[in-house]
Amino acid sequence: MSSRSPAPPPGIASGACAIKLSDSARALLARPLYAVLATTDGDGAPATSVVWYGLDGDDIVVSSQEGRLKVRNAQRRPAVSLCVYDPEDPQRYVEVRGTALVSEDEGRALAVRLAERYAGPGAGEDFLKQPPEDIRVVLRITPERVTGNAR
């Protein structure tokens, strides 16, 4: 009798191994759609936030302000889930589960990039005008499992 677990189905990771996004998932995630980010609160309850996101290779990146609940939750319990659906076909969606790493958004580059992705050229200027004590951070989500029918 073998002590090894059976191999996971194609496209699904076992454990904390990063996986590559499929072309179908990448096509949906490449669109400037809103996402729902799920984290776990300090008492174990789920907490969700609507967020802007971007792709960096196979990682998903989210910008936020230091101290926000989603940031504190991801720092405490880095297992997160991000779900995006197609507004033209709401049954078509992708959910990415993975581990979030929180780091400073140097020069607010991601905040600016996402503002321009979602709101158009020049929209990121507002982030550059914020006071330095308003620290922006990046939540970098490394996919470990991808589900949905656009996966």
In a domain, 60, yes or no: yes
Identify which of 95, 79, 91 has the alpha carbon closest to the alpha carbon of residue 36.
95
pLDDT score recorded for residue 86: 96
Q: Would you say the C-alpha torsion 124, 34, 92, 55 has a positive or negative sign?
A: positive
Q: Render 22-74 in DSSP notation, one character per residue.
A: PHHHHHHHTS---EEEEEE-TTS-EEEEEE--EEETTEEEEEEETT-HHHHHH
Q: Is residue 77 part of a domain?
A: yes
Instruction: Return the higher-pLDDT residue of 101 and 1.
Output: 101
Is residue 138 assigned to a domain?
Answer: yes
Query: How confident is the model over 14-27, as a mean pLDDT?
Result: 82
- Find the mean pLDDT for residues 12-27: 77
Tens of pLDDT, residue by residue over 94-126, are 999 999 999 999 999 999 999 999 999 998 988
Over range 69-85, report the average pLDDT: 98
Find the CATH number of the domain harbouring 113.
2.30.110.10
Domain annotation covers residue 141: yes
Does residue 57 lie within any of the structural domains? yes
- For residue 41, what are the domain limits? 23-147
pLDDT value of position 142: 98
Q: Is 11 within the bounds of a domain?
A: no
pTM score, two decimals? 0.85
- The reported pLDDT for the residue numbered 16 is 59
What CA–CA distance (Å, rounded) separates 54 from 111? 10
The count of structural domains within the chain is 1
Q: Per residue in 50-74, pLDDT tens?
A: 999 999 999 999 999 999 999 999 9
- Return the residue matching tokens 């990121």: 124
For residue 108, the tally of other CB atoms under 10 A from its CB is 20
In a domain, 110, yes or no: yes
In 3D space, the residue among 55, 135, 65 whose CA is nearest the CA of residue 98 turns out to be 55
